[in-house]
Amino acid sequence: MSFGDSKVIISNQDGVHDKLEDIVQKHLKHRFEKPYSQHTLDVFNALDAEIKTFQGSVILDACCGVGQSTRILAKRNPDALVIGVDKSANRIDRNVDEHIDESLANLPNVRLVRADLNDFYRLVAQSGWPIEQHFILYPNPWPKSKHIQRRWHGSAVFPTILQIGQRIELRSNWPLYLEEFAAATKIVGGFTTELAVVDDEMPITPFEAKYKASGQICYQLVLTRTA
């Protein structure tokens, strides 16, 4: 899916996947032990050294793409260290400053890194980073029913994802993705969930801008930790 692709998501699912609970329970019972990639381990270790001496709050922007959302979050939270992570070097290295408000350029509290989130999430959880806010904005929806385990809430790393952040926010133009994530979260427990329409005046990602421009509704799911 490119920035120019603002098509409505079409799926052969009309409700929460009937195998969701079985999948989540399986991942809760069996620890995810894939070896870490060396590149992700190196990136994490460099950030870990900085975070151990950082005195403010930390915000994680997962699947950050070109980092527009990371920059916006950093501007909104000037006292926080905002870390954007994406698996694509092409997206991370792309200069989007010229396409957005110049006030978002060269912010000192932005860190953009390329890493495998399946590894990065586990390293963050094991090290106990003090993540206050955790964003997963417009993840690949994998809309075919058979691809449920490619969605974050159907993946082996899902229980670890829920260990990171006092507040977790997801956004999508496919409400079923968020409904499923909320249902998976309730199986694990420890959060309240709230699903609503995005009310940001400024689109936070290029995808959000394209979806809104094409007349689509964007939704957000907010998880607030209770335990």
Q: What is the 3-state secondary structure (H, E, C) of 135-183?
A: EEECCCCCCCHHHHHHCHHHCCCHHHHCCCCCEEEEEECCHHHHHHHHH
* Pairing between β-strand 58-62 and β-strand 131-137 as defined by DSSP bridges: parallel
| Sign, CA torsion 79/168/37/89 | negative
Average pLDDT, the chain: 92
In a domain, 78, yes or no: yes
Token pair 């993946």 is found at: 155
Q: Which residues contact 120 (CB under 8 A, 6 or more apart)?
A: 40, 43, 44, 85
In a domain, 117, yes or no: yes
pTM for this entry: 0.93
Question: What are the pLDDT digits (tens) for 139-197?
Answer: 999 999 999 999 999 999 999 999 999 999 999 999 999 999 999 999 999 999 999 99
- The pLDDT of 30-40, averaged and rounded, is 94
64 neighbors 136 (Cβ within 8 angstroms): no
At CA 81, angle to CA 34 and CA 36, rounded to 5?
10
In a domain, 15, yes or no: no
Q: Domain residues for 70?
A: 20-165
Question: What are the pLDDT digits (tens) for 210-225?
Answer: 999 999 999 999 999 9
Band of pLDDT at residue 201, cut at 50, 70 and 90: confident
pLDDT at 20 over 70: yes
In a domain, 226, yes or no: no
Alpha helices for 66-128 (secondary structure H) = 68-76, 89-93, 117-127
* Lowest mean pLDDT across 92-96, 103-107, 119-123, 193-197: 92-96
List C-alpha distances in Å: 69 to 59, 75, 184, 218: 11, 10, 25, 15
| CATH code assigned at 83 | 3.40.50.150
- The pLDDT of 29-33, averaged and rounded, is 92
In a domain, 184, yes or no: no
Report the number of distinct structural domains present in the chain.
1
Q: What is the pLDDT, as a whole number, of residue 95?
A: 58
In a domain, 189, yes or no: no
The C-alpha atoms of residue 106 and residue 104 are separated, in whole angstroms, by: 7
Q: At what angle do helices 117-127 and 38-51 cross, to 10 degrees?
A: 40
158 neighbors 121 (Cβ within 8 angstroms): no
